[in-house]
Amino acid sequence: MVNKRANIYEINTTNWQKKRGACGEVVTDLDDIEQCYDTIINVSKGDIPLQPNIGCNIFEAVGQKTQNALQIVKTIILKEFPIQEPRGEIVEINTSYDKNGKIVVDLTFQSKQTKAERIKKYYV
């Protein structure tokens, strides 16, 4: 749920964060989990100075043999997401290549608390 210009004293959950790219807005619940997943997949470990364990080294798959790369991406996500964002749960993950040779990750995830589900597509 996205709260526009939220007053932090009126947020009724302990799990929230500022919405990326929006001044004065916050994300909660499944939107919060999704934003955490976005950060994890788009950052390499060590890129955030005060949080060196945030992120995943998904780019290790680039340059590998076709099927190896897809399996590496899947393995890294299945290992890192539950550790770094324990409120979410991966329901299904599929990896493939698009017509330009980019790795595509189709991820279905849910909130462990509410069981609300979402599908997200990432490109590596």
What are the tens digits of pLDDT across the range 58-93?
A: 988 888 898 899 999 999 999 999 999 999 999 999
Mean pLDDT for the stretch of residues 6-14: 65
- Given a cut of 60, is residue 1 above it in pLDDT? no
Range(s) of the domain holding residue 55:
2-123
Looking at residue 34, its pLDDT comes to 94
CATH of the domain at 70: 3.10.450.40
Q: How many domains does the chain have?
A: 1
Q: Check whether 14 has a pLDDT greater than 70.
A: no
3-class DSSP state of 107 = strand
Cα–chain center distance at 112:
15
Residue 3 has a pLDDT of 47
Q: Which helix (H) or strand (E) holds 96?
A: strand 88-97
Return the structure tokens found at 111: 């909130």
* Tens digit of each residue's pLDDT (9 = 90 or more) over 90-101: 999 999 999 998
CA angle centred on 114, ends 109 and 117, rounded to 5°: 30
